Amino acid sequence: MSVNLVKGGKVKLTKEDGSKLTRILIGLGWDEKTSGSSGADFDLDASLYMLKSDGKVPTQKHFVYYGNLESPCGAVKHTGDNLTGEGEGDDEQIIIDLSKVPAEVEKLVVVVNIYQATQRNQNFGMVENSFIRLCDTSDGAEKEVLKFDLNFDASVATGVKFATIFRKGDGWAFSADQVEFEGGLAALNNQYGV
């Protein structure tokens, strides 16, 4: 059964039988609003930072995005870039094997930014039906565990830290963050040491 989270909501990542999740899929989806368009396609890009306790990535390769589709440890894989958001369901996906995440990595931060937002005069207030969902893929099937519907009606932000997956005890937990940021990935790359 899927849980609908609200901003700031947290949930421990366990299977229906109470055991720990090992393999998950993060799905991100969006549609462009039919009015107020800038005329250019919306290209939202999903990215993931693998952070140590100091809040920095171990190496630049621990930043997974459309230009680096897999972490060095093989724990995180990006399925590729969707340039328009067309189609139903997930527009971009990140696949994570939690059992392969190195012990030094304490957090996985999932962000989405609008590619060339300034040049295209675009922001998240122009996006609708946006969501992030987490699926359990431990048994090979895709079982939705939680979904977080996003609301950006009044936002002029061009980037959003959607969620953090963090170590909790001997397992992992998920936090629905929705923290908006400006300055594209460059701002976060500086913060996270990429």
Cα-trace Rg, the chain: 16
| 134, 145 contact by CB (below 8 A) | yes
Which tens digit of pLDDT belongs to each residue from 125-134? 777 777 888 8
| 194, 63 contact by CB (below 8 A) | yes
Q: Report the percent of the chain where pLDDT is more than 90.
A: 36
Q: How many CB atoms lie within 10 A of CB 6?
A: 10
| 117, 123 contact by CB (below 8 A) | yes
pTM recorded for the entire structure: 0.86
Q: How far apart are CA 187 and CA 182, in angstroms?
A: 7
Query: Given this model, what pLDDT does residue 194 score?
Result: 92
Which tens digit of pLDDT belongs to each residue from 45-101? 889 999 999 999 999 999 999 999 999 999 999 987 654 555 566 778 999 999 999
| Residue-range domains of the chain with CATH | 3-192 (2.60.60.30)
Average pLDDT (155-175) is: 87
